[in-house]
C-alpha cells in the first residue's frame, strides 16, 4: 500500500484552521510544513504533496490556504528530510516549459531523486486574470496545450544522457558535447530549442503525477501519469474509476502496474466510534454553510447558487451541468453523481464537502480505518491512498500512532524504506534517455 500525505492549510476540513487541535504555527512558517513532512517520513510514507492555485479566491475572509509557493517549498523540504518523496503541483498552462523542466530537474538533484510533479492544467478561472498573455483557456484547449507541453519537457529532460558529464580534470573536458542535444521543438504553442542547461537528474525526470478525471484527463493520465490522485465520495465510483483508468493505460500499450492510483481519504479517527463522531461534530459546528456554498459555486466556475434552499432535497437539475463546466469538470461530476444517488439537502451536501472538498470522508476507530483501507486495496479500488487529515497535525498523529501499526502488522505497509528515491517507493522504473 502506498501512502501520500496531502498537506493543505491546517488540515483538509474547511474549519480545520479554527479548531483548537490544529497547528498554532502561521501558514507562512516553513517550520509547519517541515514538521508534518518529518512526521510522515518517520512513519515511512512514500511522499508528501502540495497543491497550488495561481491566484486568490474571493473567500480569503474565511479560508486560509498553503500560501508558500510549492516548488520553492520543496527545496526547503529537500534539505530538511532524507528519504520521503516530495511532490509539487505546477501548471502546464501558465508555466514556460523550459522553466518548469529546469525547476524540477534542479529539485531532483537537490533532493537526490525524491521529486514528483503533479501535472495540472489549472482549472481555477481566476488564474487567467494573472497571466495576461494567455488569459483563460477552455478545458479542451488546456489539455491540447498540455499534450504538446509534455513532448517539450520530456525532450528537455532527455537532452543530456546520464554519461554526458565527464568532469575530466586531467584531460580538460567537462562534458561530452555529443551527449547533450538540442530538441528543436517548434509546435502550435511552444518553440523551444534546448537543450536544458543542467545535467540529467537522479530519477531521469520527476515522477509524473496527475489528477484530472474527466475523459480528457483520464486519457492524458493513461499516456503520461505514473501516479494518479482522484476524488470520490463513494467506493463504487472510486472502483469504476480505477478499473477504467487501468484499462485505458493498457489500451495505450503501457503496463497498468506502472500507474498507481491514490484516491483521497480523509479519516476522523477516535478511540471509539462515539469519540470520532464528537470530533466531527466539533468541526461541523465551526463550519458555515455559506462558506461551503461559495466554494461549491467556484467549482462550477462561479455560477450563482444563492437561490438554492439549504434544507430541501437536491436533484441533479438544481446544479449546473458538469459537461458544460470549463473549470473543475470531474469534481463536479462526482458531486452531481452523489446528489443523484443520495438526494441530500444542500446543507447535507455542503457538510459532506466541508470534510475534504469531495474526497472520501470517514469516521471510525483505528481498526475500522485500517479495515476500510485493506478492503479498498483488496477489492481493486486503490493502490494506496492520498491521506488528507481533516485536522493537522492532530489527525495525522492519530493515524501514525494507531493506524500505521495495524497496517504494518497485517503486512499491508512497509516497515522500512527499501530505496532512496520516489521512483523506488512507488515501485517505478527509471526512464531511459530516448537518444540512447
Ligand X SMILES: Cc1cc2nc3c(=O)[nH]c(=O)nc-3n(C[C@H](O)[C@H](O)[C@H](O)COP(=O)(O)O)c2cc1C
Smallest distance from ligand X to CB 211, Å: 3
User: Could you tell me which stretch among 12-20, 120-128, 294-302, 375-383 binds ligand X (CB under 6 A)?
Assistant: 120-128
Site string for ligand X, 85-104 (x = CB under 6 A): ----x---------------
Strands 85-91 and 47-50: parallel
Closer of 64 and 313 to ligand X (Cβ) = 64
C-alpha distance from residue 82 to each of 372, 384, 394 (Å): 31, 22, 24
DSSP secondary structure, 166-194, as one string: EEETTTTEEE-GGGB----EE-SS-EE--
Question: Per rule CB under 6 A, is residue 51 in the interface with ligand X?
Answer: yes
Number of other CB atoms surrounding residue 247 within 10 Å: 11
The answer to whether the beta carbons of residues 52 and 89 sit under 8 Å apart is yes
The answer to the question of residue 329 lying near ligand X (CB under 6 A) is yes
Query: Segment near ligand X (CB under 6 A), from 11-19, 118-126, 145-153, 302-310?
Result: 118-126
Measured in whole angstroms, the distance separating CA 30 from the mean position of its chain's CA atoms is 20
CB 6, min distance to ligand X, A: 6
Query: Of 52 and 108, which has the nearer Cβ to ligand X?
Result: 52
Strands in 56-114 per DSSP E: 85-91
Indicate whether 33 belongs to the interface with ligand X (CB under 6 A). Answer: no
Q: Are strands 115-120 and 85-91 parallel, antiparallel or unpaired?
A: parallel
Least distance between ligand X and beta carbon 278 (Å): 28
Q: Which stretch binds ligand X (CB under 6 A): 107-115, 194-202, 326-334, 412-420?
A: 326-334
Residue list 235-274, contact with ligand X (CB under 6 A): 264
Check binding of 331 to ligand X (CB under 6 A). yes
Residue 393: cis peptide before it, omega within 30 degrees of 0: yes
Cell readout for 227 is 501516479
Q: Which of 122, 116, 57, 129 is nearest to 94 (CA)?
A: 122
CA angle 379, 212, 114 (to 5 degrees): 80
Q: Is the dihedral of CA 369, 374, 375, 381 positive or negative?
A: positive
Q: Which stretch binds ligand X (CB under 6 A): 116-124, 158-166, 277-285, 305-313?
A: 116-124
Residue 52 lies near ligand X (rule: CB under 6 A): yes
Q: Among residues 43, 66, 95, 214, which is the contact residue for ligand X, using CB under 6 A?
A: 214
Angle at 53 between CA 329 and CA 193, to 5 degrees: 95
398 binds ligand X (CB under 6 A): no
120 versus 245: smaller Cβ distance to ligand X: 120
Question: Minimal CB distance to ligand X: which residue?
Answer: 217
Taking the complex as a whole, the smallest distance from the CB of residue 271 to ligand X amounts, in Å, to 29
**By CB under 6 A, residue 229 contacts ligand X:** yes
Q: Where along the sequence are the contacts to ligand X (CB under 6 A)?
A: 51-53, 89, 120-124, 211-214, 216-217, 229-231, 264, 328-331, 386
Amino acid at each position: 500500500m502506498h501512502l501520500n500525505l496531502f498537506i493543505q492549510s491546517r488540515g483538509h476540513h474547511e474549519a480545520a484552521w479554527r479548531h483548537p487541535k490544529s497547528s498554532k504555527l502561521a501558514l507562512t512558517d516553513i517550520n509547519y510544513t517541515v514538521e508534518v513532512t518529518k512526521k510522515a517520513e518517520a512513519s515511512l510514507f512514500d511522499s508528501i504533496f502540495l497543491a497550488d492555485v495561481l491566484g486568490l479566491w474571493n473567500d480569503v475572509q474565511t479560508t486560509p490556504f498553503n500560501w508558500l509557493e510549492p516548488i520553492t517549498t520543496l527545496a526547503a523540504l529537500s534539505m530538511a528530510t532524507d528519504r520521503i518523496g516530495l511532490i509539487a503541483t505546477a501548471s502546464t498552462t501558465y508555466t514556460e516549459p523550459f522553466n518548469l523542466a529546469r525547476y524540477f530537474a534542479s529539485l531532483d538533484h537537490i533532493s537526490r531523486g525524491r521529486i514528483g510533479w503533479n501535472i495540472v492544467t489549472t482549472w481555477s478561472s481566476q488564474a487567467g486574470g494573472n497571466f495576461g498573455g494567455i488569459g483563460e483557456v477552455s478545458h479542451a484547449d488546456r489539455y491540447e496545450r498540455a499534450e504538446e507541453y509534455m513532448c517539450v519537457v520530456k525532450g528537455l529532460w532527455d537532452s543530456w544522457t546520464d554519461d554526458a558529464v565527464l568532469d575530466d580534470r586531467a584531460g580538460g573536458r567537462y562534458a561530452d558535447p555529443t551527449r547533450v542535444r538540442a530538441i528543436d521543438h517548434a509546435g502550435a504553442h511552444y518553440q523551444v530549442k534546448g537543450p536544458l542547461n543542467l545535467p540529467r537528474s537522479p530519477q531521469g525526470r520527476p515522477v509524473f503525477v496527475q489528477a484530472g478525471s474527466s475523459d480528457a484527463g483520464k486519457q492524458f493520465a493513461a499516456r503520461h501519469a505514473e501516479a494518479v490522485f482522484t476524488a470520490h465520495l463513494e467506493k463504487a465510483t472510486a472502483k469504476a474509476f480505477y478499473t477504467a483508468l487501468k484499462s485505458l493505460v493498457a489500451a495505450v500499450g503501457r503496463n497498468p502496474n506502472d500507474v498507481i492510483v491514490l484516491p483521497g481519504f480523509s479519516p476522523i479517527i477516535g478511540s471509539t466510534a462515539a469519540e470520532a463522531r464528537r470530533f466531527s461534530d466539533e468541526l461541523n459546528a465551526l463550519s458555515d454553510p455559506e462558506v461551503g456554498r461559495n466554494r461549491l459555486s467556484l467549482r462550477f466556475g462561479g455560477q450563482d447558487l444563492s437561490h438554492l434552499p439549504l434544507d430541501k432535497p437536491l436533484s441533479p437539475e438544481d446544479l449546473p451541468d458538469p459537461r458544460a463546466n470549463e473549470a473543475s469538470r470531474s469534481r463536479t461530476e462526482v458531486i452531481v453523481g452523489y446528489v443523484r444517488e443520495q438526494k441530500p439537502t444542500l446543507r447535507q451536501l455542503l457538510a459532506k464537502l466541508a470534510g475534504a472538498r469531495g474526497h472520501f470522508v470517514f469516521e471510525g476507530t483505528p481498526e475500522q480505518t485500517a479495515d476500510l483501507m485493506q478492503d479498498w486495496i483488496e477489492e481493486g479500488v486503490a493502490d494506496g491512498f492520498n491521506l488528507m487529515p481533516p485536522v493537522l497535525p492532530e489527525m495525522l498523529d492519530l493515524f501514525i500512532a494507531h493506524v500505521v501499526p495495524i497496517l504494518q502488522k497485517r503486512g499491508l505497509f512497509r516497515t522500512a524504506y527499501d530505496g532512496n528515491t520516489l521512483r523506488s517507493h512507488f515501485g517505478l522504473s527509471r526512464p531511459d534517455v530516448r537518444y540512447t
